[in-house]
Each structure stands twice: as C-alpha cells, then as structure tokens.
Amino acid sequence: MSAGLHVAHESAKAQVQGAVRYVDDIPELQGTLHAAPVMSRVAHGRVRGLDFSAALALPGVRGIVTAQDIPGDPILGAFAHDEPIFASELVQHVGNVMALIVAADVMTARRAARLVKADIEELPAILSTQEALEKNHFVLPPVHVRRGDADTALQAAPHRLNGSFSVGGQEHFYLEGQVAYAQPQEMGQWLIHSSTQHPGEVQHWVAHALKLNLNDVRVETRRMGGGFGGKETQAGHLAVWSALAALKFGAPVKLRLDRDDDFMITGKRHPFDYDYEVGFDETGLLSGLKVSMRVNCGFSADLSGPVADRAIFHLDNAYFLQDVSISSYRCKTHTQSHTAFRGFGGPQGMMVIETIMGDIARHLKRDPLAVRMRNLYDGASELIGVRSELISPTSSNTTKLNEINSALTPINSPNRANKAKRNTTHYGMPVEDNILHALLSKLEHSAQYIRRRDAINTWNSAQTHFKRGISITPVKFGISFTATLFNQAGALVHVYTDGSVQINHGGTEMGQGLHTKIAQIVAHELGIPYELIRATASDTSKIPNASATAASAGTDLNGRAAQFAARSVRDKLAAFVSGLDGCGAGAVSFKDGQVISPSQSRPWQEVVGLAYANRIQLWSDGFYATPKIHYDKKTLSGRPFYYFAYGAACTEVIIDTRAGESRILKVDILHDVGRSINPTIDIGQIEGAFVQGMGWLTTEQLVWNDKGHLSTHAPSTYKIPATGCIPEHFKVDLWPEANREDNIFGSKAVGEPPFMLAISVWEAYRDAISSAGGDTSRLNAPCTAENVLRCLSSFE
C-alpha cells in the first residue's frame, strides 16, 4: 500500500545527481536561435521610435521581432484582453517588452538588446495605490462586499479602533527562471517546451498570437524549477515571444530571461494598502468592521481580479464577522503586472484581520490568543476536551490561562444553543468542518505558550536593548479554484504487458511532489509496488483543457482523476479474473503485487499478460469534477470552496531596539493536511511555505524609486531567507484527522495554506515592538531593520 507512506520524491535522486532535464537542458536542435527582450527604461511613455541599427550591426544578430510580425491578435489571450504582446505604442512600466532581438547565441542576443535606442515621450507615472484611487485609475472595477450594518455596529461598540498599514509584494525567485523553447513542426504545427504551471493557457496564448487552432500547438512541461504562481500566466509571455521569433525566422527559438530581466519584466505578489475601523466589546469580541483594501495590480489585470477576490474571501481568516463592510480597489499603477503567488490573495486578506486582533488585544491589555479564540467561528465536536486541555498543570500564568479559558465560555455555554450560530462566512458559505478550537488548544499546550509568554515578560522587564515577542495565529484557507469551471481534471493510466504502468495527468510538477503523490495513488489503487509507476511530462496532446496547477488543488483534482482511471483498469482486470475463476468481480482483490480471487492468487504481471492475450483493455482515462461548489461572481457569494484547510503556528522572535535587527528563535506548527498521502512531502511543503512566508514578512522588500524603476532586482539587493535564518527550534506536527469531505484518501491540500502560518512572525514582531514601548501602528511589512526602528520611540 503506497498511499500514506514516506516515499521519496520521484526525481529526487536524479536531481541530486544533476541527471534531470529542465527546459534549458533540452538538447538544442540544429539551427536553434536565441531571443532577448528589448525593454523600456521608462515607467510610462509614448513610443516614438526604436533604433535597431547598433544591435543589427553586432556579429551573430539575425534580426528583430516587433508587433508587425504578429499574424494573430496583437493583444495577449488573457481574459481581460488588456496587455499588448509588444509595447509598440505605449510603455507602461520599466521593463515593458517592446521587441525582441534574435541571434545565434544567447549572450549576443542579450548584448544586442541593450544596444537598441528607444525614443519615448515620457508621461506622468502613477506609482502608488493612493494616487490611483484618487484618479480612479483601475485595471478592474472596485468590488464591495457587505453583511449586516457595519456603521450601526461601530457606533454602538463599547470600544473602537482604526488604523492603516501596508504589506509589500514578493518576488517569486524560482530557481529556474522563465524560459520557453519554440520548435516549428511539420504542416504548420508547433511544439513548445515551456516552464509553466498551465500548459493549456500557453497553448491558447500561442495559438491566439499565431492565428492557429489549438490542435496545432502542443505544449510540454516535464518539470519546473519552482513556480509559486509566477508561472501560472506569465510563462505564456515567453512562449508567445519565442514562437513569434521562430515563425519569422523559420527556426527553433529559445528565450530564457536572466535573473535581472526576470525581475524587471515579470509581476510579483500584489502589494496591499489597508485602512480599517473596528468595534468590539470588553472581551475583544468584534461587533463591527469596515476595511478598505487598495490592491497594487500593476499595469494590467492579469490575475488581479481573482487575487483580490480571494483576499476578500479570506479577510475573515478564522473569525466570524457579523457586521462587516469590505471595499476592494484594483489599482492600476505603472509597474510590472502583478500576478499569482502562493496563497493567491489569501495572505493579504488574512494579514488585516490578524493585525486587527493584535491591536484589540493590546488596546484591552488582554492576551492576543484569548482575543483570537473569542472570535473563532463556532466549532462542534471539536469542543470536547478543549477546556480540560487548556487547564494544564504546566501552564503557570493563571491570569493568561483564565483569559484564554474564558474566551471559550460563550461557545461552550449551555445557553449557546439558543443563540444564532456563528458559522457562516461573510460571503455566505457555512463553515462545517472547523477544528480550530481543538487545534489551537493543542498547540497552546504543546508549544507551552502561556509558560513561555510569562517567561518572555519576565525576561523583557530585565532587558534594556533586546526584547522578545511571541504569537500564535491560526489559518483557515479555502480549497478550490474560485472560478468553478477550473475545478476539473483528467488523467490517463497505461498498463504495459510487463506490468509496468505509465500515468499522465493535467497537473504540472514544480518540485512540490505532485507526480510522486499521484504515482502513490495509482499504485495503491492497483495494489502494486510504487516502483512500477512512471509519471510522464504534462502534455496538451494527452490531457486537453487542463486547469493550471494552482489553488493548492493539484493532488485533489488530478489525483482523483488518476484514481478513477486506475480503478477503471482494475475493474476490467477484476472482471477478467472473475471469469477465469468463476467468482464475482467484487471478490477479486489487488494487494502487494498479487491479484487474489477466492480460489487462487496470481502475480500482477501474470494477470496483465493473460489479460492482454485475451484482448482486455489495459489503459483507461479518468475524469473528476469537484462536487458541491458554486459561486456567484457578481455578488461574491456562494460556496466557492470544497473544504477548508486549517493550521496554527507559534513563533517567538527577538529584536535589537538599537539597530532594528532581529532573529526568529522558535517556531512550532500544528497543521491540518487530513490523512496525509505522503507525510515526508507534506512536512516539506509546510516547512518551505512557512519559510517563504517568513521571508515575505521579514527580509524580502521590493523597492521602486520615484521613476518607477525596481531598485531591488537582484540577489544583492533582494534578500530571500538563507539557511542561517531558519530557527534552531523548528517543529512541525500534523493534525491527526482525515478530511471530512470525500477527498482523495481523506487528504487535504498542502501547497498554499502553510504560507499563512508565517503571519505569526508578523504578530510576534509587533508583540516585541510593543514590549519595547514602540508604536506598532507605524509598522509596515516586511519587518526590515528600518521598518522596526521606525516604530521605536528612539528612532526619529
């Protein structure tokens, strides 16, 4: 039985040996040319002309590609239809691609591209969301979601707070940069090797630009060296550009961006600016909330609409919002077009409510965990044992313990049944599987939160220059594409006469272990060793119309489709064996490489050989569509998610109040992955997601200057976490309960939800700053040394 076991990543050994191929490793066909982008150095301007003469004079240069070389639509095939393939008339950010240089080798192409002289009439650039809002400069119309009467609730609230803050974007920093290799085929057909999370969209974009039918374009992706959302749409740009160059020159063309150009051309995680007003009672229970989110979308829509929508969906995080008003402004600025990134707006939505919870706790001088637990959605069966576990003999701080304990009293009260349930989101979806009461209680106990908070308070009172902070924050993350139509998947399972099995599905492998998990699922379904399974490259000629590998739904969708395909083969074999042995097909089982009937057991390979000799079909397809989900985009209401994934993290930090420098000391995580298909991979995903989220909120700062130029466009100025940033105490435990929905093997998605666990880092920083007498209202993310110092009274 392969599912649920610690199985190594299917290509781990080969990757360590340097034996796997990424797009740039594919042996180049004879005559392959290389392209490089000609980029704008102006954030906003009208293109009056491009002088290619110096570039064309460089030895090895074969020519140029411009908008005049596009046979199809000059606008990219994105849903908003608002982004030109080449910025031939108007540039809208520094790095906007205006044309291509094509040369015999990559370095010549890049050198030549920098020799092109652009005559651009500079226009005023909008670089802030505040200016965009004032000028009604949006990529999409604003969206407003309301429930109840927030204004009346705020007026009646015993306590009120308001605040404003910002959270920055984030560079994807995938190890393998953006790359595509376009190869013309016979009879006007095309093969595109693309490092993409969505081969189907690359196929659509290339066909759209070349004015072809989709069946003329085949896109293949064996693996990516990381994606994180940055290759969901924006890999399509490179595929279109390389295909246009290959069409013009009648030769294969590869386009691979260097790291600096990748920074300058591609979008990032969306930066957000927030304004909020909140009302609450003396226990910290929210009574009214108004939030305005200004989303920095960059110059085009890309995926900003659904990203901003998901931020709205996740603004509640784990908390019931009775009277709430949310406004989301999708601001157009003259920067790169921001795009999908792990969490897809969820982290930005959760940041504001978790910040509010921390502010309420400090205002009331209550423990932040008590305030959070006071506002949780209702739980049901999870409440059994919660109070007894909280009342722990190891918890020494009685006052804090009583605060947290009393936060649950209204939930556990016998009179609770007579009150309205607090279990429906502000977009109308019932929360039916909430385990956070028990999960938070267990983490509080295992991380010794109350004892540590007491010790930190004692330590801080004795320190002058160093202060520590601690925080526990929860996560409730919805799983499914919010666009319902994308929640479908297909797969193929081929059994060969030697008993080996090949699987193909619509998902893509970007290091997250999707192929490994699906191989485990198929092995389990067929009752054969995992080693007999081989996953093959994602390919639009095998699985058509596949959705992006995104929304954390890769295993949920493709795994179930592969299971159905394998089950179809298994059922055919069971029927065949039942005929041989005179029993019902239901009496035939598949286990440990044996096919077992009531009368005898045969090796898997023997049964496959017999079935082939008797002309039994040894392959099948499978298809899956997520049940229960529905969603009205006009009202942003319905059930957009099949289920929620839950988790919580306890983080402890230390700051130097003189320099603003800091360190994360301890991290304890308890995360819900359902019944894990592969615990090794799941724990790796949790660790990686947390560290990536930690980087977003601590060191990864994107800085655009007043001319719209991204100043942090290389590893020298943009700092992702290094190994030395990882705390020595970094503990991850898995919640031991299966998914309550009928998901593949009772598992839950794990790609994105753990990212939001890192919000505990943000709140721990704010706790430390508050302990130092600082003003947390002045803190913007990330918590760089400069931003931390700005909050301290000594920094003026």
Amino acid present at 138: F
User: What are the structure tokens assigned to 726, written together?
Assistant: 């990882």
Residue 191: CB partners within 8 Å, gap ≥ 6?
A: 182, 183, 185, 218, 219, 220
Contact between 329 and 142 (Cβ < 8 Å)? yes
Q: Are 234 and 267 in contact (CB under 8 A)?
A: yes
Tell me whether residue 155 is exposed, middle or buried, using C-beta atoms within 10 angstroms of its C-beta: 0 to 12, 13 to 18, 19 or more. exposed
C-alpha–C-alpha distance, residues 649 and 667, integer Å: 7
Cβ atoms of 83 and 240 within 8 Å: the answer is no
Q: Is the dihedral of CA 518, 519, 522, 527 positive or negative?
A: negative
Task: Please give the sequence-ordered ranges of beta strands (E in DSSP) within 545-685, or none if there are none.
Answer: 589-591, 594-596, 601-603, 619-625, 630-632, 637-639, 643-656, 662-671
Neighbours of 675 (CB within 10 A): 18
Q: Which of 171, 220, 752, 763 is catalytic?
A: 752
Whether the CB-CB separation of 788 and 769 falls below 8 Å is answered with: yes
Q: Which amino acid is at 788?
A: V
What is the 3-state secondary structure of 18-57?
A: CCCCCHHHCCCCCCCEEEEEEECCCCCEEEEEEECHHHHC
Residue 190's DSSP bridge partners are: 184, 217
User: What are the start-end ranges of the E strands in 506-642?
Assistant: 533-535, 538-539, 589-591, 594-596, 601-603, 619-625, 630-632, 637-639
Contact 674, 748 (CB under 8 A): yes
* Residue 752 designated active-site: yes
Nearest to residue 764, comparing CAs of 781, 739, 740? 781
Residues 186, 192, 193, 199, Cα dihedral to 10°: -130
SS3 459: helix
Instruction: Provide the 8-state DSSP code for 519.
Output: H
Positive/negative CA dihedral, 663, 666, 672, 675: positive
Residues with catalytic roles: 752
